[in-house]
Each structure stands twice: as C-alpha cells, then as structure tokens.
C-alpha cells in the first residue's frame, strides 16, 4: 500500500518568512502528486498538482512544489508567507484509483 510521509507536524513562522514542507512517498511506479490545503473551518482545496513534465510546478497563492523522482519527494515551498497562509497542508499521492494522504502539517503564520 502507498504511504505518504510529511516531515513536520507543526510549523510556526513569521510573516515574510520562507516556507518549505517536506513530503515523501513510498510507491515506485507512476504517481500523480498533490498538495491540498485546509483553511480553518473549511474543506480541502487543491493547491497544486504534478502529473508529468516539468518537475517544478506552480500552484495558487504563490506556492510551488518540486518533484524529485530519485528521492520519492514532492516538497512544497513558498518564498514569503502571509498571515492568511495559516492552514493545514496535506501531501497526497494518487495511484491505483486511490488518493493517499500524509498526516498533514499545521502551519501557523504570526503577524
């Protein structure tokens, strides 16, 4: 079965700081990779996705992620966070009809 590991459980940052969230997965075949975000009290929203091609993908709200196949990683980055980026972030991997999620990283941005 697919497993997805997120490196950090809780990250606390100040506004304008850079953010990087780590994600590793276990499946060695073809996968589709995603980052979802869940703002407080809301449901999951797609932040960005990787299917194929350029391993550096850009998403909404200034987020980007880099797929490194050799490391089975798909790390999320944002150069300068805002208070409104406070949320829980989930890495997810799609394979064999199923989307498997990591445990999530709570990001708190202090004004």
Partner 1 sequence: NAGVTQTPKFQVLKTGQSMTLQCAQDMNHNSMYWYRQDPGMGLRLIYYSASEGTTDKGEVPNGYNVSRLNKREFSLRLESAAPSQTSVYFCASRTGPGANVLTFGAGSRLTVL
Rounded to whole angstroms, how far apart are CA atoms 6 and 34? 13
Nearest of 7, 31, 20, 43 to residue 92 by alpha carbon: 31
- Span near partner 1 by CB under 8 A; candidates 14-22, 65-73, 76-84, 89-97: 89-97
Nearest of 66, 94, 91 to residue 78 by alpha carbon: 66
- Span near partner 1 by CB under 8 A; candidates 19-27, 62-70, 72-80, 101-109: 101-109
Q: Does 111 bind partner 1 (CB under 8 A)?
A: no
Q: Who's near 18: CB < 8 A, 6+ residues apart?
A: 77, 78, 79, 80, 81
* Torsion angle in degrees (nearest 10) through CA of 43, 14, 105, 99: 50
Q: Does 52 bind partner 1 (CB under 8 A)?
A: no
Q: Does 97 bind partner 1 (CB under 8 A)?
A: yes
Taking CB under 8 A as the criterion, the residue among 9, 53, 64, 108 binding partner 1 is: 9
Q: Does 27 bind partner 1 (CB under 8 A)?
A: no
Which residues of this chain interact with partner 1, rule CB under 8 A?
Answer: 1, 4, 6, 9, 32, 34, 42-46, 49, 51, 90, 94, 97-104
């Amino acid at each position: 079965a697919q497993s997805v590991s997120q490196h950090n459980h809780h990250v606390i940052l100040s506004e304008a700081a850079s953010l990087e969230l780590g994600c590793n997965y276990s499946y060695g075949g073809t996968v589709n990779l995603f980052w979802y975000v869940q703002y407080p009290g809301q449901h999951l929203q797609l932040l960005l996705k990787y299917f194929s091609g350029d391993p550096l993908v850009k998403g909404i709200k200034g987020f980007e992620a880099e797929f490194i196949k050799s490391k089975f990683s798909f790390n999320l980055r944002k150069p300068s966070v805002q208070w409104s980026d406070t949320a829980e972030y989930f890495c997810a991997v799609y394979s064999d009809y199923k989307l498997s999620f990591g445990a999530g990283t709570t990001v708190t941005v202090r004004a």
